[in-house]
């Protein structure tokens, strides 16, 4: 998904996505859950990997969470 695709799914401007991707803005837990829904990944899976210290990325083509 592109930033524009994610932004459209969230009902936000593309700059919203760009700012959190670039680290210019932090997201709160509600926004995090909304983003995971837009990306069609489970929030719990991402949090579990973060707790394990595993690097988490999302495959933009398939939407799957990868190490």
pLDDT of residue 18: 95
Domains of the chain with bracketed CATH: 3-62 (1.10.260.40)
Q: What is the three-state SS of the chain? A: CCHHHHHHHHCCCHHHHHHHHCCCCCCCHHHHHHHHHHHCCCHHHHHHHHHHCCCCEECCCCCCEEC
- Of 49 and 67, which is predicted with more confidence? 49
7-44 pLDDT, tens digit per residue, is 999 999 999 999 999 999 999 999 999 999 999 999 99
């Amino acid at each position: 998904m592109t930033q524009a695709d994610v932004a459209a799914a969230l009902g936000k401007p593309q700059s919203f996505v760009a700012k959190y991707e670039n680290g210019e803005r932090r997201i709160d837990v509600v926004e995090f859950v909304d983003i995971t829904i837009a990306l069609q990944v489970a929030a719990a899976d991402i949090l579990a990997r973060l707790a394990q210290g595993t690097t988490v990325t999302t495959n933009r083509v398939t939407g799957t969470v990868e190490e």
